[in-house]
Chain A
């Protein structure tokens, strides 16, 4: 039999090679945290154009969370206090903020008070529509073109709870974490202090570090009573346990609350806090000169920005184990210092450096391999339905006005094949997994046909493949690529059982594959049952790459 597939692929590659992807050597930095102070000069040094949307006038740059954190650390250390290891940064935060402001002189363009309205395009070629008020207060529109986008925290980063969240009138006696840091900077030492954390959500290492450090610092400098209300003292980070213990020996009290705390202002202007102590099992009340609501919560501004940029709420590893620490689902958009609620201070610097490295790779040398293997649209067949554009988890597809067809970015495409399996006009193909190739594999009909994800089922199967099984394993990049037409084709060829083996929903390299596959299978099973085929002949099972025995069991059962 003559294999024509390779020729077909070569031809596809040749056409594609004529139009190299647009890659703009420019970066848009949204936000102005300490990480931006590190990122912007580094990008400029690599010859990239940089536009910064600091969100506010440059003069106020140091006032955000990371700015006040930087000043706080400096003020502790200049006054002879110990800076805990978890908050130590190799760069001086104040210097980084200055460096960011100074990068204007070296060519970075700053646009203050800008709001991001829309972001179209793909990695290498984004168009970001922003608005900002001119001198007369009129909204001005501007489109910024950028090869990559960095969300650099602060202007949209974590914010703090306020008194109003507890039905208490805002008072000078209640503040938040940045407020506490500012107080320390100004040298204010309250007579008695309560710090409440873990109310909105269990707080991460950053908030814990600041709370412990501030409490210890103030206890050592004459604050008579300091009580920390928390749910769990988070100590799993470099130096945090030492810090916690030394805060206790300096006289800081720790109380566990059950997630609720009621506040009231006394006639004397003190704040009375009442909560149930989980350890003692009884209600405890205390009156304090200053009460700090220390939770850092995600701001609504951040959620809005994520929606505008079509990014899923959880970037980085926390959102998907396959993502790098600074990556988002939308290829070409990076997120730094967003984990203010959970991050460690010194990790911000590493994140900044990683983003610079990834961006320079993305914008300077997209690999040939990625380009050759990206999904391709036959613009003659495309019906402009936008299904692919809407379903692509990586934001890799745009509508090409000139061609009047969908256009898949060769550098943003992650080759999952979700678009291929949904295109109503069969206008998209993935060169390594063409329908032609799959149909050829389906030509002989074994009793069992398995569509197996290369990220889980294929490696699981390779470890322990049953020998004489009457089955055929068809390798797919993701179960999101499994096309109902090919499943039906397998049944038509005489297979008795089709098994789709993919990842667990939360660990799909391409986010949506298992959910897409299962939804399609549900519809298909309904249809099959109506034409008299037992719907149990088509099944989906999730497994991981190391579940060799489970793979063997699954295919044996069938």
Chain B
């Protein structure tokens, strides 16, 4: 799931103050950011209240749609949007961009910092687990991702900064991804996988090849 956190409120207020917006729509998303307690109905109500209470007493309307990354869910918002100077989106970066695309003449500001695709470890705790590299290597790495879990995204084993299973980037908090790969492969009896020489990674499949687009011919509209 996509995990986001809220921006400092003064940053959000800064957007509105700089352009003198007096009336805004605080637009939440009912999917990932609701689940990660950052941009659902509750947070929309909280932010809208704070904007009304804050300097300049910005008039704020509240709305949470099912999913901010599908244009259909924005249908029916036209009237609401038309009455506002700007939209403060509490969706992830995807939702902010789609809203900006849909409302071509309306400023859309982000209220969140989109952080990670991660595991919800328990209430209020998330850890990063996927970078969306487009060429999943989990099958040959014991289910531990070398791209995400190694701080340097190394493809061919740990660097010299791996000590006692911890990563030199933060020896207290970050485990060495490669140490975990080896441990896990050992546990499932597949350590031999690391004997195979691997070709250099094709980074064009990641974002390094530019913004990616996926088209499913069979599904795409006729």
Chain A residues at the B interface, C-beta cutoff of 8 Å: 381, 383-387, 390-391, 422-426, 484-485, 488-489, 491-492, 527-528, 530-533
**Residues on the A chain within 8 Å of B31, using CB:** 383
Q: Per DSSP, are chain B's interface residues mostly helix, strand or loop, or mixed?
A: helix
Q: Are A383 and B40 in contact (CB under 8 A)?
A: yes
Is B155 located at the chain interface by the 8 A CB criterion? no
**Known contacts A387-B123, A391-B123; A424 and B37 CB within 8 A of each other:** yes
**Residues on the B chain within 8 Å of A422, using CB:** 37, 123
**Residues on the B chain within 8 Å of A384, using CB:** 35
**Known contacts A383-B30, A385-B36, A390-B123; A423 and B42 CB within 8 A of each other:** yes
CB distance from B64 to the nearest CB of A (A): 8
**Residues on the A chain within 8 Å of B55, using CB:** 531-532
CB distance from B44 to the nearest CB of A (A): 10
Is B180 located at the chain interface by the 8 A CB criterion? no
**Known contacts A485-B45, A485-B49; A425 and B34 CB within 8 A of each other:** yes
**Known contacts A383-B34, A530-B8, A531-B13; A424 and B122 CB within 8 A of each other:** no
Closest residue of chain B to A383, judged by CB?
B34
**Known contacts A383-B31, A530-B9, A531-B13; A425 and B42 CB within 8 A of each other:** yes
Bitwise interface map of B from 175 to 209 toward A, beta carbon under 8 Å scored 1, else 0: 00000000000000000000000000000000000
**Known contacts A390-B123, A527-B9, A530-B8; A424 and B49 CB within 8 A of each other:** no
**Residues on the A chain within 8 Å of B8, using CB:** 530
**Residues on the A chain within 8 Å of B52, using CB:** 492
Q: Are B120 and A386 in contact (CB under 8 A)?
A: yes
Chain B residues at the A interface, C-beta cutoff of 8 Å: 8-10, 13, 30-31, 34-37, 40-43, 45-46, 49-55, 64, 120, 122-123
Which of these, A426, A489, A531, contacts B42 with CB under 8 Å?
A426
**Residues on the B chain within 8 Å of A531, using CB:** 9, 13, 50-51, 53-55
Closest residue of chain A to B33, judged by CB?
A424
A8–B122 Cα distance when bound, in Å, is: 34
Q: Are A424 and B50 in contact (CB under 8 A)?
A: no
Q: Are A488 and B50 in contact (CB under 8 A)?
A: yes
Q: Are B37 and A385 in contact (CB under 8 A)?
A: yes
CB distance from B194 to the nearest CB of A (A): 30
CB distance from B175 to the nearest CB of A (A): 22
CB distance from A244 to the nearest CB of B (A): 48
**Residues on the A chain within 8 Å of B42, using CB:** 423-426, 485
Q: Are B123 and A424 in contact (CB under 8 A)?
A: no
**Known contacts A383-B34, A385-B35, A425-B42; A527 and B120 CB within 8 A of each other:** no
Q: Are B34 and A489 in contact (CB under 8 A)?
A: no
Closest residue of chain B to A381, judged by CB?
B41
CB distance from B112 to the nearest CB of A (A): 13
**Known contacts A383-B34, A384-B35, A424-B35; A527 and B41 CB within 8 A of each other:** no
A543–B125 Cα distance when bound, in Å, is: 31
Q: Are B41 and A426 in contact (CB under 8 A)?
A: yes
What would be 21 A-B contacts, judged by CB atoms less than 8 Å apart? A383-B31, A383-B34, A386-B120, A387-B37, A391-B123, A422-B37, A422-B123, A424-B35, A425-B30, A425-B41, A426-B41, A485-B42, A488-B49, A489-B49, A491-B49, A492-B49, A527-B46, A530-B8, A530-B9, A531-B50, A532-B54
CB distance from B119 to the nearest CB of A (A): 12
Closest residue of chain A to B64, judged by CB?
A425
Going nearest first, the 6 A-B pairs with the smallest beta carbon separation are A531-B54, A488-B49, A424-B40, A385-B35, A390-B123, A383-B34
CB distance from B16 to the nearest CB of A (A): 12
**Residues on the B chain within 8 Å of A527, using CB:** 9, 46, 50
**Residues on the B chain within 8 Å of A424, using CB:** 34-35, 37, 40-43
**Residues on the A chain within 8 Å of B34, using CB:** 383, 385, 424-425
